[in-house]
């Protein structure tokens, strides 16, 4: 019996992370950094109906259930909007983000916290 919550196949994946996160942790109070990450997570959660997501530390992953053109349109929209929000809402200097968008094999088991990109 296949678990419908597990993705194992080709899909679109967008990945973002905060550049200089370790220096931000060293330079700002922990409460401040924690609040900034909460804000980022809240912004990302609004896209839950469009595609799936997982956040950990300063990394933000959005992914679709397949590699269709419809899924591409959704992940592109989410990626562009998330990046814009995070860039525009940054109230401190030196809070840049980087990201990428890719398509290919991806394994995601959210329930067990397992995310893999298998080698071809």
Residue 43, pLDDT > 80, answer no
- pTM for this model (two decimals): 0.77
- pLDDT band of residue 26 (cuts 50, 70, 90) is confident
pLDDT at 56: 82
**Domain range list for the chain:** 12-102
Tell me which of 3.30.70.1230, 3.60.21.10, 3.30.1330.10, 3.30.450.20 is the CATH number of domain 12-102: 3.30.70.1230
- pLDDT band of residue 66 (cuts 50, 70, 90) is very high
- pLDDT band of residue 75 (cuts 50, 70, 90) is very high
Residue 111, pLDDT > 90, answer no
The one-character DSSP state at 113 is T
Of 18-27, 50-59, 63-72, 109-118, the range with the lowest mean pLDDT is 18-27
- The span from the CA of 41 to the CA of 60, in Å, is 8
For the stretch 81-84, contacts whose Cβ atoms lie closer than 8 Å and that sit 24 or more positions apart, written own/partner, are 81/47, 82/14, 82/16, 82/43, 82/44, 82/47, 83/16
- pLDDT band of residue 18 (cuts 50, 70, 90) is confident
% of the chain residues with pLDDT over 70:
88
């Amino acid at each position: 019996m296949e678990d419908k919550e597990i993705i194992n196949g080709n899909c679109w994946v967008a990945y973002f992370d905060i550049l200089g996160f370790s220096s931000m942790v060293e330079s700002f109070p922990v409460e401040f950094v924690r609040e900034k990450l909460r804000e980022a997570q809240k912004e990302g959660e609004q896209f839950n109906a469009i595609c799936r997501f997982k956040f950990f530390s300063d990394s933000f992953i959005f992914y679709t259930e397949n590699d269709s053109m419809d899924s591409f349109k959704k992940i592109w929209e989410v990626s562009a909007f998330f990046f814009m929000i995070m860039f525009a809402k940054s109230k401190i200097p030196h809070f840049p983000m980087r990201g990428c968008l890719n398509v290919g094999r991806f394994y995601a088991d959210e329930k067990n916290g397992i995310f893999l990109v298998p080698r071809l």
